[in-house]
Amino acid sequence: MLIALLSRLLGEGMPLFLLNTSTRMILALLTSLLASILLGPPFIRMLTRLKVGQTIRTDDCPPLGDLHKKKKDTPTMGGALILASMLLSLFLWMDPTHLFTWLLFITTVFLGFVGGYDDYLKLRHKNTKGLSARRKMVLQAILSLFVVGTFYLVDAPLIKEVTGEKITVQLSEFVQRVYLPFKETPLLEMGAIFTLIWGFLVISGTSNAVNLTDGLDGLASGCLIMTATCLVIVAFVSNNIDLASYLHLPYIEGSGEVGIYLASMVGAILGFLWYNSHPAEVFMGDTGSIALGGVLGVSSLLLKKELLLALVGGIFVMEALSVILQVASFRYRKKRIFLIAPLHHHFEYLGWAETKVVMRFWIVSLILCLIGIISLKVQFV
């Protein structure tokens, strides 16, 4: 918004470097980083004063309460600080006229309220149940329908591809494609109905997977930083017609706006990690995890890198799968696969220290992100 205002006021006198996407990515990252670090202490004091304390899962798993009893009453809903820092960067450095800017803004605000209401219910009833899984899924489905439906309603020629020559592709056509990492051409093209279902699976799946991962000090934060950084690189490359052509990737007009917002996410979470690292002074809560996961999901849809997100965000996938497999196994076999789900708690029960679990999960996440970056260069037809 600031960029648009300066451009209108200064006209031709506008410094060209401020219009550069990479410059705006750096400015967005620095803005959100400084905002989250500087506003962290007063924000944490406010949460403490309001008695917005974390509740510990003990009803279905009493031993977990023993492991994490020191975390009880640690301020939660810190995700509000992350989201506010990201939105500040959005208003300052993103193009307010671009469709992608508004889709990311609406996703952040909508899922931020969903997560915030979930946290509110947990605090009000002093348990870990919060919003029911069914209601969360319904709200996530509404957002998914809106995001994917917008592609068809707008149906603008925002997408251009480079395959030796520049070809304009309608947004509604491009969004139906699914790309596989290490593969240059689309894996398949879906119809409108399947695209809506696919959008829901990506957005809801990522949102809930990040939410499940947020169980140890700094675990979700570190994995989010690495995953978002990988998608920032994808967005930067996709926004540059020469780089996209060289790497045989789709050139996506406006993907730079996605990169700017993801860069602001990296900065905001880095600042938050200052207070969320072990021993955590504040937790992001569902306010942060549900919204941040949703932003990653929507970003992957805009960049057409949904399966790449599943690769680089492999920790989130494993955490979600551990819960799904555990529930299914106990329901149909009356046996548990893991000592406790999600997966990070299983390793805690094996005797790993919390910091060791977090660091090892971070290392795995980093390895997966490096593989994802390699896939941008190594591609097969």
- pLDDT of 20-49, one tens digit each? 888 999 999 999 999 999 999 999 999 989
Domain span holding position 26:
2-377
**Does residue 12 surpass a pLDDT of 80?**
no
| Cα distance between the two ends of the chain | 40
- Would you state the pLDDT for residue 202? 97
pTM: 0.92
By the 8 A CB rule, do 6 and 241 touch?
no
Q: Mind listing the pLDDT tens digit for each residue in 187-204?
A: 888 888 999 999 999 999
- Would you state the pLDDT for residue 236? 95
Strands 188-189 and 177-178: antiparallel
Looking at the structure of the chain, the number of domains it has is: 1
Residue 10's pLDDT band (cuts 50, 70, 90)? low
Q: Mind listing the pLDDT tens digit for each residue in 201-233?
A: 999 999 999 999 998 999 999 999 999 999 999
- Please report, rounded to a whole number, the percentage of residues in the chain having pLDDT higher than 90: 60
Those residues with Cβ within 8 angstroms of residue 139's Cβ, 6 or more apart along the chain or in another chain? 110, 114
Q: How far is CA 88 from the centre of its chain?
A: 17
Residue 14's pLDDT band (cuts 50, 70, 90)? low
By the 8 A CB rule, do 278 and 354 touch?
yes
**Does residue 156 surpass a pLDDT of 80?**
no
Helix axes 255-276, 219-239, angle to 10 degrees: 160
- Residue 42: is the preceding peptide bond cis (ω within 30°)? no
**Does residue 306 surpass a pLDDT of 60?**
yes
CA distances from 149 to 141, 145, 193, 196, 199 (A): 12, 6, 10, 8, 10
Those residues with Cβ within 8 angstroms of residue 56's Cβ, 6 or more apart along the chain or in another chain? 64, 65, 68, 69, 71, 72, 128
Cβ-count burial 74-112 (b if 16+ within 10 Å, e if not): bbbbbbbbbbbbbbbbbebbbbeebbbbebbbebbebbb
- Would you state the pLDDT for residue 28? 96
**Does residue 299 surpass a pLDDT of 60?**
yes
- Would you state the pLDDT for residue 251? 86
